[in-house]
């Protein structure tokens, strides 16, 4: 079986302090998994290790076929081209339209053909249900719409894995439901694996999936978070 994430006995460190120990789990391609835990339990540090923002110095790890153990600064872009990363605070460029936000990312990741770039940008906006908002500025969109743009941005380069760090953290409950349903549909329709960090147990309970739980410095693997 091919895995998009494979960690074995990994230690997760932040500023020299070990946050998580003996982390071992695998994420199948096309699988949707929650990563849960209280604030400060290590969710974000684990995600940062997976996308190369923190080094893996203990144990073994591979993400999208790239070894985290041998990852160098100059090879981090190669890893990130295989990933889509979604943050809690959207991180859209406020001085340009939604379409131009996406074109900026495509240009930065090596796309050259303007017609192809625009076509791809509109494709991912359609995929997340806001194709009609391409000409709008970020401030003209609701929080939920801005997060949909962030997900569209993450999909631009057809990633093998989406890492979503508290993507519903700034959203109301109804909008949070919409974002989680959308991420699960994208996972199902495009066969893109999703690892979503969250502490929103209500939404997790509504849309249960396999769950990894950060607690007391460990990562426990559960089939769902329904009973928490």
SS3 sequence of the chain: CCEEEEEEEEEEEECCEEEEEEEEEEEECCCEEEEECCCCCCHHHHHHHHCCCCCCCEEEEEECCEECCCCCHHHHHHHHCCEEEECCCCCCCCCCCHHHHHHHHHHHCCCCCHHHHHHHHHHHHHHCCCHHHCCCCHHHCCHHHHHHHHHHHHHCCCCCEEEEECCCCCCCHHHHHHHHHHHHHHHHHHCCEEEEEECCHHHHHHCCCCEEEEECCEEEEECCCCCC
Q: What are the structural domains, with CATH classification, of the chain?
A: 32-52+78-222 (3.40.50.300)
Q: Is the pLDDT of residue 214 over 60?
A: yes
Q: What is the mean pLDDT of the chain?
A: 92
Q: Is the pTM of this model over 0.85?
A: yes
Query: In which band, very low, low, confident or very high, does the pLDDT at 170 lie, cut at 50, 70 and 90?
Result: confident
* Average pLDDT of the segment spanning 124-153: 94
* Average pLDDT of the segment spanning 140-166: 94
pLDDT digits (tens, 9 = 90+) for 85-119: 998 888 899 999 999 999 999 998 889 999 999 99
Q: So what's the pLDDT on residue 176?
A: 92
């Amino acid at each position: 079986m091919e895995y998009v994430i494979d960690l074995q006995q990994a230690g997760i460190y932040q500023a020299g302090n070990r946050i998580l120990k003996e982390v071992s789990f695998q994420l199948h391609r096309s699988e949707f998994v929650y990563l849960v835990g209280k604030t400060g339990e290590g969710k974000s540090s684990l995600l940062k290790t997976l996308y190369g923002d923190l080094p893996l110095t203990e144990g073994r790890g591979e993400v999208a076929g790239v070894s985290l153990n041998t990852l160098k600064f100059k090879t981090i872009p190669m890893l990130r081209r295989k990933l889509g990363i979604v943050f809690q605070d959207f991180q859209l460029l406020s001085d340009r339209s939604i379409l131009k936000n996406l074109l900026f990312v495509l240009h930065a990741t090596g796309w050259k053909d303007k017609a192809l770039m625009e076509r791809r940008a509109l494709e991912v906006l359609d995929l997340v249900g806001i194709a009609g908002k391409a000409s709008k500025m970020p401030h003209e969109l609701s929080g939920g719409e801005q997060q949909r743009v962030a997900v569209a941005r993450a999909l631009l380069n057809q990633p093998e894995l989406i890492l979503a760090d508290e993507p519903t953290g700034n959203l109301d409950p109804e909008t949070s439901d919409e974002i989680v349903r959308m991420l699960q549909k994208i996972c199902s329709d495009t066969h893109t694996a999703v690892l979503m960090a969250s502490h929103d147990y209500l939404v997790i309970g509504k849309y249960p999936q396999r769950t990894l739980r950060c607690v007391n410095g460990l990562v426990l693997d559960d089939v769902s978070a329904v009973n928490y």
